[in-house]
Structure 1
Amino acid sequence: MAFLIEDTGEHFGALLNPETVLMSRTAGVEPHRSGGGRLAGAALADDPLLFTGGGHTELRMDLVFDVDLAPAQLHVVDVRQMTRPIWSLAENSTEIEQQRRPPCVRFVWGRAWNVPGVVTEVAERFDRFAPDGSPLRSWMRLVFVRVGQNPDEEHGENYELAQRLPLVDLTAPPVDALEVVGDGSRDEGLLGTAGGEGAGAFTRVPPVELGMLSWRAFGTPLQWKLLLGYNNIDNPFGFAGPLAVPPVIEDR
């Protein structure tokens, strides 16, 4: 995982990939107002809305840096040697039309993520220190806001995702079924498919098998969430089979 500055080609990598990425979207919708305040009425069930266009898409992630995990050739004695470049992405270090602003960067993670935007918030918590006070471990939280991209156009996020992964019709009837083997153990009380035979007894499924089930269903190990969602399964690690497989959409 890395951040690539588009103007200069510089890139800053994370020491470890984040365990979670929270992606959220706020549409361009606001309450309709007049000079006297918000428009409303006693006969209305909902406040009138003003559709302004645009919107706001952001990614939130937590990163960990530790001097003990850094390559030996870097000679890191203060964890801020690794985190300052990422911190600087939220500084007004770029000048465009005589205005200072944070640099435009791309959040890149393999083939799965390539999103343009700016880092709008950064926070660090240090919890391990050397005798001279130098911080040795950093927990960094940052907010990345997407800019200048229509996700459905060519090279956009949704467009690129559709080229790699088959679209799945979650409204169509199933075309096949997969048996869930798991590791052979049975457990009481695990959440799973409601109403199945032997309610309360479910196969404990190892995480690696979720990818195998997705591969058997769609030809990719990355679609297991769609497979479980189609079968209304809440607990990905404990459920009973077989699983119904939705059809893949051929034409995009």
Structure 2
Amino acid sequence: MPAAQTPPSSQKAFLETEDGTTVPCLFNPAQLKITRSNTWAGAALPGRGVTRLRYTGANSGVLRVDLFFDTTDTGTDVSAHTGTIVDLMEVDPTLPGTDETKHSVRPPYVTFHWGDLHSFKAVIEHLDLTFTYFSSTGMPLRATMGLVLRQYEESQAFGRQNPTSGTPRPHRVHRVQAGETLDRISAQYYGDATRWRLLASANAIADPLALRPGSMLTIPKLDS
């Protein structure tokens, strides 16, 4: 009998800047949205019906991703992690091709990586950051961030993806009961209450303290 294959371990998503610096995501996203579009043009002619269109070119691709940050386990300021990504929207005069004397500066481009998936080179076009939980002293401990990455140059990214990479493999589902919390559900299925963040990441839960009774949770299978 052939030996059973060992399932691949879950890999963390991260952003890579053009100088090779990596910015890790604390939790893997629940989904990615990729938008591609083409531009077509046509001139209406008197006495004719539907205008025949002419292809004029492709538009930049767009990648949308929502990220989750939580540092309640360490009690440290979560903005230490979110701020690293926010800083990527600032202009950097040290980048190749920039010239402050000619007012020609720009922020760096980034690439999103997750397992076998590698995005096109992109700039952060839009960022929404929301702090959702604070310590008693007002320190932010939990946040969500919506990123819109716009393609920077021609790319063949987003070809066929290896379906075994990235997201944890679903194992079962759980219907939330009134009064349940993620740490209690984690203890029930994993025997370890501290694994609640795996449930939060797999189900894109921004506020683990606000579970809705009756909702269904995916319970990822742990890697052996």
Q: What range describes the TM-score normalised by the shorter chain of this pair?
A: 0.5 to 0.7
- Alignment match, 2:66: 62
- Residue type matched to 1:26 in 2? S
The equivalent residue for 2:137 is 132
Higher-strand-fraction structure:
1
Q: What TM-score, normalized by structure 2, do the two folds share?
A: 0.57
Tell me the matched-pair count.
146
Which of 12, 15, 29 pairs up with 1:3? 15
Provide the alpha-carbon RMSD of the alignment.
2.6
Query: How many angstroms does 1:80 deviate by?
Result: 0.9
Identity of aligned residues (%): 27
Letter in 2 for 1:61: V
Q: Deviations over 1:35-66 (max 9, x none)?
A: xxxx4245444445453323121110110101
Which of 101, 106, 110 is 2:111 aligned to?
106
Gaps of 5+ in 1: 33-38, 166-182, 184-252
Provide TM-score, normalisation by structure 1.
0.51
In 1, are the aligned partners of 2:120 and 2:155 still within 8 Å (CA)?
no
**Computing the radius of gyration over CA atoms, which structure comes out larger, 1 or 2?**
1
2:128 pairs, out of 123, 127, 133, with 123
Give the alignment partner of residue 144 of structure 1, picking from 149, 170, 177. 149
Q: Is the 8 A contact 2:40 2:57 kept in 1?
A: no
CA contact (8 A) 1:108 1:115 kept: no
- Note the C-alpha offset of 1:115: 2.9
> Residues of 2 paired with 1:48 and 1:100: CA distance?
41
Instruction: Check the 8 A contact 2:111/2:118 in 1, yes or no.
Output: no
Structure 2 portions without partners, runs of 5+: 1-12, 164-171, 173-224
Bigger relative contact order, structure 1 or 2, given CA contacts below 8 A and separation 6+? Answer: 2
Distance 2:138 2:49 in 1: 59
Amino acid at match of 1:55: N
